[in-house]
Chain A
Amino acid sequence: MTSPPTTSGITHVEVRPGAYADSVTLLQVSKDVAAVSGVENAQVAMATPLNLEVLESMGFALPATTPNDMVVALKLADDGDLAAALAAVEAALSRKTRSAGRAEDEPHRTTGAALADSDATLALVSVPGEHAFVEAVDALDAGRDVMVFSDNVPVEQEIVLKRRATERGLLVMGPDCGTAVVGGLGLGFANRTKPGPVGIVAASGTGCQQLMCLLDAAGVGVSAALGVGGRDLSKDVGGLSTREALRRLDEDPTVELAVVVSKPPAEEVAASLREFAAGLSTPVHFALLGEGQPDLTAAAESVLSALGRPEPKWKSWGAGTASAATGGYLRGLFVGGTLCDEAMLMTAAALGPVKSNIPLSPELQLDSSLVAESHTMVDFGDDALTAGRAHPMIDPTLRLENLARVAADPSTAVVLMDVVLGDGAEPDPAAALAPAILAAKADAHASGRDLPVVVACVGTEDDPQQLSRQARALAGAGAEVFLSNAQATRRAIELTGGSR
């Protein structure tokens, strides 16, 4: 079952049926094992189609598997010790698998069983999407709210969940809800902000994060951010969770102003939500991305103005240092879907059509190579690119590989990226990204080109990664860094040679 794909070393592939650990854990296990001396490469992963593709691309020959199998794939140097490498796999796995302890203290195996034994008011579900519905139903059965972080949940299941929740006065945050803040508790990817008068309902994780961070920078706190999942304002789902979330914010006396933020919504849903919001006693602002609609930064500015706060000068680092490109395309590499949407809307208006894996219209669909002879923007957080692997805000590998690729492409004029900080995100994204930006620029320079890199860095000073520390590190690598994604995009358009 092994076939050495490289000239040197030993390849070892083994399948462990029925073994399971989540993708984040396995990422860490793979890293730990790869760090063992004599191990050239290690990948311990569940055998999902995407992971199998990755393993194959790494040169491993794989036997037949099911997605419930764990694959241990090792590439060793000539003098590598297989037994030692396998021992490292065991050690890393057992470290990561919580100790079962004494048999009588076994942890609960379903969300329902855990809720029955707990007065927790909220369930947080981040199991693989195919299985998330079942865990979420447990929460509703137990009369609790639920946040579903998992993506790849079929929309029919989302509708069943939300209808059932509506009948019972419960809130479903998600699926694919990356961000929520409940009473100051950050869930999933969340930025640390001070409490304050604003409550957010977000059908967009990174859109919510951008809004929170801008408001925070302007000295306005957010007391609650209820994520509702990216499809909530679609025609199929019809804003079911948005209504419940708005109802909750309206009933909460500490919320002075509510903001609904979403990727481009279905028009009729947006209209009916505006009507619903008009009947509430709390003023509701809408930050719904779309053609001709205000961007998120403009939405933040209008919230500030409604609260009687002055409009700040949004922070930037190293802005204005790059020189304009002499032709070519703008290439966007995003981890945040809404930030990608926002950048595409602005770029399309200024420079023309943008191809993407999450296109604004179907004819702009980027194929799975993610390469096209045009302006392109890729959302690495999209479901299709996260099946069986961690979100790019946790695992930057895929995006870093692509950065090197677009940098080497002579048709790339400017690279636009986002970096999203906060709880849940990788602890020091600049540590890997800054050297990659340096390398990308050096690579372009070597072939006689200048490669401007513009970064939107979404975060706060209270975030564990600290906004200014990350921004300075990226600016130090030659990037222009902005807190506002809209400003970063405008700058990237300008550098590409656009009209603005």
Chain B
Amino acid sequence: MSTTRPTEAPSGVVAAGADLFADAVEGQAVPVSRVDWRPPMEGTAADLATVLADPLRQEANERAVKAMLDVQAMLVAVAPASEVLGLRRGEFLHAGPPLEWANASGPMRGALMGAAALEGLVDDPEDAVKLFESGDMSLEPCHHRSAVGPMAGVVSPSMWMFVLEDPASGRRTYCSLNEGLGKVLRYGAYSSEVLERLRWMSAVLGPLLAEAVRAAGPVDVTGILTQMLQMGDEAHNRNRAGTLMLLRDLSPALVEASAPSSDIAEAMRFVGGNDHFFLNLAMPACKLALDAGRGIEGSTMVVAMARNGTEFGIQVAGTGDEWFTGPAQLAEGLLLGDYKPEDANPDIGDSAITETAGLGGFSMATAPAIVRLVGGTVPDALATTRRMLEITLGQNPRWTIPVLEFQGAPTGIDVTKVCRTGILPQINTGMAGRKAGVGQVGAGLVTPPAECFPKALASLAERARKRAHG
């Protein structure tokens, strides 16, 4: 704390509002830092005042950020979803906020149809439509089961999951194994080659990784993330360094695993050839950290951003498990081949958990290699990371960005700051084809629909008012 002595001129002044007054201070040779103030999102002024006045807010946010930063995510096991999540036949997890089949988008339906065939509920994925229409199948968000899933994020009982644990608390999070790019289930493809690959992953890759993790001991995923950021990965659309580091850590144990060398070679070829393999570890590591901030009354920190292909939803530390949603947006960026913008589905996937934790778009400055992939420039990338600091509560002292003088990743999205500035979280994302079965059509940048944040703010304000008036 530094307070002004009345007869000593301040060392500097921060000025928000009329330039006239800032000019007058500057004219007296005292440095002025000017705030580029603009009115908040429409209709939020009263709720902002209420939430900013909440006596719990500041300390609650400090606690939420600290809890999140204190988490160490260790990969402790690899096991089938039926085992670690208790997922039963006919139960499916999906990305984003809650969703019914009737409202599901093309890629979400495609992934569910493929998963139904994978589980043997139908022989032909096309036949699964009736099954889901009947309402006999259970659909539940990954987030409701401590899990996250990229793109469609569909998890069915036989899929193998990474199991991450925070040693201090024993809390766990889960994510499926990454299938690679192109025609894959998570982008809504369900052809026989897609299903065959998934069967191989369950039969060969999963058990091999499980054995390797058992033998090598827990893998420090948070630590790998720290290093990745120094190596040009932002851990959402670029996971190349992370993937190779994982392979480095597991290779000896893989080689010594009790499996035919051809299977081991195939597994190592698959992991090493899939630059996105580590995404499915980055995501649950981020969720593990953010879950530590859940349920802190008064905190305005966002603990999840997730999309189901139809809606975008956020959850906030101080508002329990409530989702605040709006229509999922279309990403802007580069399209593969001759796909057209109208071929792309609205935003989908739990992978925005990386941005929620300060990676992905928030750490774009550290990944200049992929700015073109998402249709940007290097100065854009630097500006984006700086801009995200305007809407976050702090910086991550472990996850630093060399090109920004080792500034920490912007950490802890603050609902009030988003509403005040109108700056929306920047998300790096893949684009799925709008039609079921197509797969990936591109990659780009997207933001949440603005309305999520005023809705969350209104709920925070409501809680603060109730607390104030008993």
Residues of A bordering B, CB below 8 Å: 20, 22-25, 66, 68, 96, 98, 102-104, 106-115, 117-128, 130-131, 133-135, 137, 139, 141, 143-145, 149-150, 157, 160, 168-171, 182-188, 195, 199, 223-224, 226, 245, 248-249, 251-252, 254-255, 390, 394, 423-424
**A110 to B12 CA separation, bound complex (whole angstroms):** 16
The answer on a CB contact under 8 Å between B386 and A121 is no
Closest 5 pairs between A and B when the two form their complex, measured CB to CB: A126-B17, A120-B12, A143-B1, A224-B6, A183-B9
Residues of B within 8 Å of A135, CB to CB, are 16-17, 35, 37
Contact A125 B49 (CB under 8 A): no
Partner of A134, one of B13, B49, B58, B379: B49
Are A124 and B49 in touch, CB under 8 angstroms? Answer: no
B13 touching A120 by the CB < 8 A rule? yes
Residues of A within 8 A of B382 (CB): 103-104
Residues of A within 8 A of B25 (CB): 124, 185, 187
The answer to whether A109 touches B37 (Cβ under 8 A) is yes
Does B329 belong to the interface (CB within 8 Å)?
A: no
- Across the interface, do A25 and B19 meet the contact criterion of CB distance under 8 Å? yes
Given contacts A255-B7, A423-B27, 16 further A-B contacts (CB under 8 A): A24-B18, A110-B420, A111-B37, A120-B13, A122-B4, A124-B13, A131-B48, A144-B3, A145-B4, A157-B49, A160-B53, A168-B1, A185-B30, A199-B7, A224-B7, A254-B7
The answer to whether A108 touches B5, judged by C-beta atoms less than 8 angstroms apart, is no
Query: How many angstroms between the C-alpha atoms of A168 and B3 in the bound complex?
Result: 10
Q: B residues within 8 A CB of A122?
A: 4, 10, 12-14
Q: How far is the CB of B231 from chain A (nearest CB, A)?
A: 22
Q: Interface 1/0s, chain B 374-397, versus A by CB < 8 A?
A: 000001101100110110000000
Min C-beta distance of B41 to chain A, whole Å: 9
Q: Which of B5, B24, B34, B387 has the most CB of A within 10 A?
A: B24
Q: Is the CB of A223 within 8 A of B6?
A: yes
Interface membership of B258, Cβ < 8 A: no
24 A–B contacts from the bound complex (CB under 8 Å): A25-B19, A66-B42, A68-B42, A103-B380, A104-B386, A107-B36, A109-B35, A109-B420, A110-B16, A117-B33, A121-B3, A123-B13, A130-B45, A137-B53, A145-B3, A149-B21, A168-B1, A169-B3, A185-B13, A186-B28, A187-B13, A199-B7, A248-B5, A423-B24
CA gap between A20 and B48 in the complex, in Å: 19
Chain B's interface size range is 35 or more
Instruction: Let me know if B21 and A126 touch, CB within 8 A.
Output: yes
Residue of A nearest to B24 (CB): A423
Chain B contact residues, CB within 8 Å of chain A = 1-22, 24-25, 27-28, 30-31, 33-40, 42, 45, 48-49, 52-53, 58, 379-380, 382-383, 386-387, 389-390, 416-417, 420-421, 423
Are B21 and A187 in contact, CB atoms less than 8 angstroms apart? yes
Chain A positions within 8 Å of B35 at CB level: 107-111, 113-114, 135
B386 / chain A contacts, CB cutoff of 8 Å: 104, 106
Contact partner of A106 (CB less than 8 A), chosen from B16, B39, B383, is B383
Pick the residue among B6, B17, B31 that contacts A249 (CB under 8 A): B6
Chain B neighbourhood of A186, CB < 8 A: 24, 28
Which of A123, A127, A394 contacts B20, CB < 8 Å? A394
Q: A109-B421, A144-B2 are in contact. Are A103 and B12 (CB under 8 A)?
A: no
Dominant secondary structure at the A interface:
mixed
Determine which of B22, B31, B36 lies in contact with A108 in the assembled complex, contact meaning CB atoms within 8 Å: B36
| B7 proximity list for chain A (CB < 8 A) | 183, 195, 199, 223-224, 252, 254-255
Return chain B residues, CB-CB under 8 Å to A185. 9-10, 13, 25, 28, 30
Contact B36 A20 (CB under 8 A): no
Q: For residue A144, which residues in chain B have a CB less than 8 angstroms away from its CB?
A: 1-3, 14
A106–B387 touching, CB < 8 Å: yes
- In the complex, residue of chain A having the shortest beta-carbon distance to the beta carbon of B3: A145
Decide yes or no: A124 and B3 within 8 Å by CB, A104-B383, A109-B420 being known contacts. Answer: no
Question: Across the two chains, which residue of chain A brings its CB closest to B53?
Answer: A160
Contacts of A133 in B (CB 8 A): 49, 52-53
How far apart sit A368 and B18, CA to CA, in the bound complex (Å)? 27
**Known A110-B417, A127-B17: A120·B10 in contact at CB below 8 Å:** yes
Q: A133-B49, A168-B1 are in contact. Are A188 and B21 (CB under 8 A)?
A: yes
Centre residue among B7, B382, B417 by max chain A CB count within 10 A: B7
Contact B14 A123 (CB under 8 A): yes
Q: With a 10 A CB-CB cut-off, give which of A22, A66, A102, A199 has the most chain B CB atoms.
A: A22
Q: How far is the CA of A131 from the CA of B40 in the complex (A)?
A: 8
| Chain B residues with CB below 8 A from A109, complex form | 35-38, 390, 420-421, 423
Bound CA span A301–B22, Å: 34
Chain A residues positioned under 8 Å from B420 (CB to CB): 109-110, 134
Q: How far is the CA of A124 from the CA of B27 in the complex (A)?
A: 15
Q: Please state if B10 and A106 are interface contacts (CB–CB under 8 Å).
A: no
Q: How far is the CB of A113 from chain B (nearest CB, A)?
A: 5
Q: In the complex, are the beta carbons of B53 and A114 less than 8 A apart? A: no
Tell me how far the C-beta of A30 lies from the nearest C-beta in chain B, rounded to whole angstroms.
15
A66: which B residues are within 8 A, CB to CB?
A: 42
Neighbouring A residues of B21 by C-beta, 8 Å = 124, 126, 149, 187-188, 424
Closest to A130 in B: B45
Please tell me if the beta carbons of B33 and A108 are within 8 angstroms of each other in the complex: yes
- A232, chain B: closest CB distance, angstroms: 16
Q: Is the CB of B24 within 8 A of A150?
A: no
Q: In the complex, what's the smallest C-beta–C-beta distance from A84 to chain B, in angstroms?
A: 26
- Distance in Å from the Cβ of A209 to the closest Cβ of chain B? 14
How distant is B224 from chain A, measured CB to nearest CB, in Å? Answer: 28
- What is the chain B residue whose CB lies nearest that of A23? B18
Asked whether A125 and B17 contact (CB < 8 A) given A185-B28, A252-B5, the answer is: yes
Measured between beta carbons, the chain B residues less than 8 angstroms from A131 are 37, 39-40, 45, 48
CA distance A98 to B11 in the complex (A): 23
Closest-CB distance, B313 to chain A (whole angstroms): 25
Q: How far is the CA of A182 from the CA of B5 in the complex (A)?
A: 8
A114 touches B20 (CB 8 A): no
Residue numbers in A under 8 Å from B14 (CB-CB) = 111, 114-115, 118, 120, 122-124, 139, 144
Contact in complex: B6, A255 (CB < 8 Å)? yes
One of A20, A22, A103, A183 near B10 (C-beta < 8 A)? A183
B417 touches A121 (CB 8 A): no
Question: Cα distance A274–B9 when bound, in Å?
Answer: 28
Residue of B nearest to A200 (CB): B6
- Residues A111 and B16 in contact, CB atoms below 8 Å apart: yes
The CA of A424 and the CA of B17, in the complex, are separated in Å by 14
A118 to B16, CA, bound (A): 14
The listed residue with most B CB atoms (<10 A of its CB), out of A112, A135, A141, is: A112
User: In the complex, A149 Cα to B10 Cα: how many Å?
Assistant: 17
Q: Are A183 and B13 in contact (CB under 8 A)?
A: no
In the assembly, what is the distance between CA of A103 and CA of B7, in Å?
39
Residues of A within 8 A of B380 (CB): 103
A125 to B387, CA, bound (A): 22
- Known interface pairs A107-B35, A183-B6, A226-B6; A121-B12 also in contact (CB < 8 Å): yes
Please name the residue on chain A nearest to B28 by beta carbon: A185
Known: A110-B35, A126-B16. A182 touches B53 (CB 8 A): no
Contacts A120-B11, A137-B52, A188-B21; A171 near B4 (Cβ below 8 A): yes
Q: Which residues of B contact A251 (CB under 8 A)?
A: 5
Taking A98-B34, A134-B420 as contacts, is the C-beta distance between A22 and B27 under 8 angstroms? no
- On whether the beta carbons of B12 and A118 are closer than 8 Å, the reply is yes
B232 to chain A, nearest CB (A): 19
Complex alpha-carbon distance, A195 and B9, angstroms: 12
In the complex, what distance in Å separates the CA atom of A169 from the CA atom of B2? 10
Residue from B15, B18, B24, B383 having most chain A Cβ neighbours under 10 A: B18
Chain A residue numbers with a CB within 8 Å of B8 are: 182-183
Q: With A and B bound together, what is the CA distance between A119 and B25 in angstroms?
A: 16
A394: chain B residues within 8 A (beta carbon):
20
Distance A337 CA – B389 CA, assembled complex (angstroms): 41
Inter-chain contacts of B5 with A (CB < 8 A): 183, 248, 251-252
